[in-house]
Amino acid sequence: MNFKDSVVIVTGAGNGIGRGVALGYANEGAKVVVADIDREAAEATLNLINSTYGDGLFIETDVRDPKQITHLMDETIRIYGKINILINNAGVSRFKSVYELSVEEWDDVLNINLRGNFLCAREAAKYIRRNDSGGAIVNIASTRAFMSEKDSEAYAATKGGIYALTHALAMSLQDDHILVNSISPGWIETGDYSSLRNIDHKQHPSKRVGKPEDVARACLFLTNPMNDFITGENLIVDGGMTRKMIYEH
Ligand SMILES: NC(=O)c1ccc[n+]([C@@H]2O[C@H](COP(=O)([O-])OP(=O)(O)OC[C@H]3O[C@@H](n4cnc5c(N)ncnc54)[C@H](O)[C@@H]3O)[C@@H](O)[C@H]2O)c1
């Protein structure tokens, strides 16, 4: 129960990786704030937290809206009195031909994945710095910050942006004792894991596709006060895929 007295905000915690991260902290005794635009999904996560582990809260939040982000932080303070950890996980991947991607679509992906990430970090840091022991922020990037498939310009740009934003924030927030790191997941299966094919698993040096719990454990590691010598860093959690040479022999 390393996080028993911690208040943790997880954006995008209604589904997939965010839900896994929220449950990971709840399992360690934290009070978890589920922040998501999807009410139904978020309430399902909240039910899991409250029926299994104890203490959670849902605050409906669209990370595109600066006012809703301020409300998220203020409400968390009103109810729990402090913020120790922020996991910036909310994100969308909309792939479209480079020739067809409109300005509106580009802006929307940037506003959710990158601007939302910055605004949540800025607003959470205003409270995290009040703690004697500071706290930590983890931004969820992607291995697509470093490698690409076709038609992923907006998404890739946000994830590269998160990589750079992370080390900039780590420098700016150092005197407030706030650690800032990112995690770059590879293929994390958020659907039916049992439907994956043998080849899906075998192509990974780890010999399996990732799960939300893999990212959750990385978050727990990076936000554990015992690991406070790590800041401004990016941790790749991809079963070795970005280390694999793909020349065919
Ligand atoms: N699944 C993967 O393989 C993978 C790989 C690399 C990176 N990631 C990143 O991990 C994060 C989570 O991905 P996932 O696969 O769990 O996705 P997901 O679609 O399953 O979940 C994303 C969550 O974010 C929420 N969300 C979307 N727009 C929002 C907004 N404007 N405001 C608040 N919440 C919003 C959704 O409602 C949803 O609950 C994303 O940042 C994604 O880019 C995922």
For residue range 185-199, list pLDDT tens digits in order: 999 999 999 999 999
Specify the residue with its C-alpha closest to ligand 1, atom 7. 142
Mean pLDDT, range 77-93, rounded to an integer: 98
3 state SS of 34 = strand
Mean pLDDT, range 33-60, rounded to an integer: 95
Amino acid code (one letter) for 75: E
pLDDT value at residue 2? 80
Q: Residue 182's beta-bridge partner residues?
A: 139, 234
User: Over 80: is that where the pLDDT of 54 sits?
Assistant: no
Specify the residue with its C-alpha closest to ligand 1, atom 23. 12
Question: Has residue 190 been placed in a domain?
Answer: yes
Ligand 1 mean position to 199 CA, how many Å? 25
| Count of domains forming the chain | 1
pLDDT, mean over the chain = 97
Residues with catalytic function? 155
pLDDT tens per residue across span 119-162: 999 999 999 999 999 999 999 999 999 999 999 999 999 999 99
Counting residues of the chain whose pLDDT is more than 70, the rounded percentage is: 100
Pocket probe mutation, ligand 1, options 9, 15, 107, max atoms within 8 Å of Cβ: 15
**Ligand 1 atom closest to 38 (CA):** 37
pLDDT value at residue 233? 98
List the CATH number of the domain containing 131: 3.40.50.720
User: Over 70: is that where the pLDDT of 56 sits?
Assistant: yes
pLDDT value at residue 249? 82
Rounded Cα gap, residues 154 and 113, in angstroms: 10
pLDDT value at residue 230? 98
Question: Has residue 248 been placed in a domain?
Answer: no
pLDDT value at residue 218? 98
Pocket probe mutation, ligand 1, options 9, 10, 36, max atoms within 8 Å of Cβ: 36
DSSP letter (8 states) at residue 232 = S
**Ligand 1 atom closest to 158 (CA):** 43
Ligand 1 mean position to 230 CA, how many Å? 25
Question: Has residue 157 been placed in a domain?
Answer: yes
Question: Has residue 1 been placed in a domain?
Answer: no
User: Over 70: is that where the pLDDT of 75 sits?
Assistant: yes
Number of separate helices (H) and strands (E) present in the chain:
8, 7
Question: Has residue 193 been placed in a domain?
Answer: yes
3 state SS of 183 = strand
Question: Has residue 79 been placed in a domain?
Answer: yes
Specify the residue with its C-alpha closest to ligand 1, atom 17. 16
Question: Has residue 187 been placed in a domain?
Answer: yes
Q: Which residues contact 167 (CB under 8 A, 6 or more apart)?
A: 180, 232
User: Over 80: is that where the pLDDT of 45 sits?
Assistant: yes
Residue 1 banded pLDDT, cuts 50, 70, 90: low
8 A C-beta contact, residue 6 and residue 32? no
Mean pLDDT, range 201-208, rounded to an integer: 98
Rounded Cα gap, residues 151 and 78, in angstroms: 43
User: Over 80: is that where the pLDDT of 3 sits?
Assistant: yes
Ligand 1 mean position to 4 CA, how many Å? 26
Ligand 1 mean position to 92 CA, how many Å? 5
Which residue range(s) make up the domain with 27?
Answer: 7-243
Question: Has residue 249 been placed in a domain?
Answer: no
User: Over 90: is that where the pLDDT of 29 sits?
Assistant: yes
Ligand 1 mean position to 245 CA, how many Å? 28
Pocket of ligand 1 (CB under 6 A): 11-12, 14-18, 36-38, 41, 61-64, 89-93, 112, 140, 142, 185, 187-188, 190
Specify the residue with its C-alpha closest to ligand 1, atom 25. 12
